[in-house]
Amino acid sequence: MACLLSVLRTCSRVSVFYPMRKIGQRFLRNMFGLDYRSLALLRMGLAVALLMTLRECGEYLGAFYTDAGALPRAALIANNYAPPWPNVHMAGGSFAFQAALFGLQVVLALLLLVGYRTRLVTALSFYLLFSMQGRNPMLIFGPDMMLRLMLFWGIFLPLGRRFSLDAELGRTPPPAEPVYFDIAGVAYILQFILIYFYSGYTKTGATWQVDHTAIARALDLEIFRRPLGHWINHYDWLTTWLTVAVPPIETYGAFLFIVPFCTGWARWAGFLLLTGLQLGFNLSMDLGLFGVVMVAIMLGLLPAECWTGLLEPLGRKIARWRPGGKTKPPRSWLAAQARARGAAERRAAWRARHKGLVSALRWLRRGLVAFLVYYIVGWNVDYSHSDHAWVPVSLDGLAYNFGFEQHFDNLFAPNPEDQDGWFILSGTTVGDREVNVFSGAEAFTLARPASVVATYRGERWGSYLPYVLESRTTWLLEPLALYLGREWNRTHFGADRVKSIQINFMLERVGAHHTKTPTQMLPLWAEPIRSGN
pLDDT at 19: 62
Question: Which residues 6+ apart lie within 8 Å of 502 measured at CB?
Answer: 424, 425, 426, 427, 428, 523, 525, 526
pLDDT at 115: 96
pLDDT at 346: 82
pLDDT at 9: 53
pLDDT at 112: 98
Spatial distance between the Cα atoms of 354 and 349, rounded to a whole number of angstroms: 9
Asked whether the predicted pLDDT for residue 327 surpasses 80, the reply is no
288-301 b/e with 16+ CB inside 10 Å = b? bbbbbbbbbbbbbb
3-class DSSP state of 524: strand
Question: Which residues 6+ apart lie within 8 Å of 184 measured at CB?
Answer: 153, 156, 157, 369
Of 153, 236, 159, 219, nearest in space to 406 by CA: 153
Most distant CA pair in the chain, distance? 101
Asked whether the predicted pLDDT for residue 409 surpasses 80, the reply is no
Asked whether the predicted pLDDT for residue 162 surpasses 90, the reply is yes
Highest average pLDDT, of 406-410, 483-487, 509-513, comes from 483-487
The larger pLDDT score, comparing residue 410 to residue 460, is at: 460
Beta bridge partners of 510: 516
Cβ-contact 42, 300 below 8 angstroms: yes
Cβ-contact 95, 61 below 8 angstroms: yes
Query: What predicted TM-score, i.e. pTM, was given to this entire model?
Result: 0.91
152-157 mean pLDDT: 97
For the stretch 6-21, pLDDT in tens is 544 554 454 444 566 6
- Lowest-pLDDT choice from 35-49, 66-80, 105-119, 324-338: 324-338
DSSP label at 519?
P
pLDDT at 1: 47
pLDDT at 7: 47
3-class DSSP state of 166: helix
The larger pLDDT score, comparing residue 250 to residue 320, is at: 250
Question: Which residues 6+ apart lie within 8 Å of 408 measured at CB?
Answer: 142, 194, 195, 198, 199, 202, 380
Amino acid (1-letter code) at residue 210: V
Of 120, 121, 127, 119, nearest in space to 184 by CA: 119
The larger pLDDT score, comparing residue 12 to residue 280, is at: 280
Asked whether the predicted pLDDT for residue 321 surpasses 90, the reply is no
The larger pLDDT score, comparing residue 36 to residue 141, is at: 36
Cβ-contact 224, 286 below 8 angstroms: yes
Asked whether the predicted pLDDT for residue 160 surpasses 90, the reply is yes
**Residue 488 phi/psi, 5° resolution?**
-70, -45
Spatial distance between the Cα atoms of 126 and 128, rounded to a whole number of angstroms: 6
Write down the mean pLDDT value for the chain.
88
Asked whether the predicted pLDDT for residue 352 surpasses 50, the reply is yes
Predicted confidence band at 531 (pLDDT cuts at 50, 70, 90)?
low
Sheet hosting strand 434-436, strand order edge to edge = 434-436, 419-429, 498-509, 520-528
* Cα 423 off chain centre by: 27
For the stretch 189-243, pLDDT in tens is 999 999 999 999 999 999 999 999 999 999 999 888 889 999 999 999 999 999 9
pLDDT at 255: 97
Predicted confidence band at 389 (pLDDT cuts at 50, 70, 90)?
confident
| 387 CB burial (10 A radius; 0-12, 13-18, 19+) | exposed
pLDDT at 323: 57
For the stretch 58-83, pLDDT in tens is 999 999 999 999 999 999 999 988 77
pLDDT at 107: 98
pLDDT at 101: 97
CA separation (Å) from 435 to 443, 462, 488, 508? Answer: 6, 21, 10, 23
Cβ-contact 409, 202 below 8 angstroms: yes
Of 171, 187, 162, 143, nearest in space to 48 by CA: 143
- Lowest-pLDDT choice from 377-386, 417-426, 498-507: 377-386
Outline where 179-226 has alpha helix (H).
183-201, 206-209, 214-220
Share of the chain above pLDDT 90, in %: 62
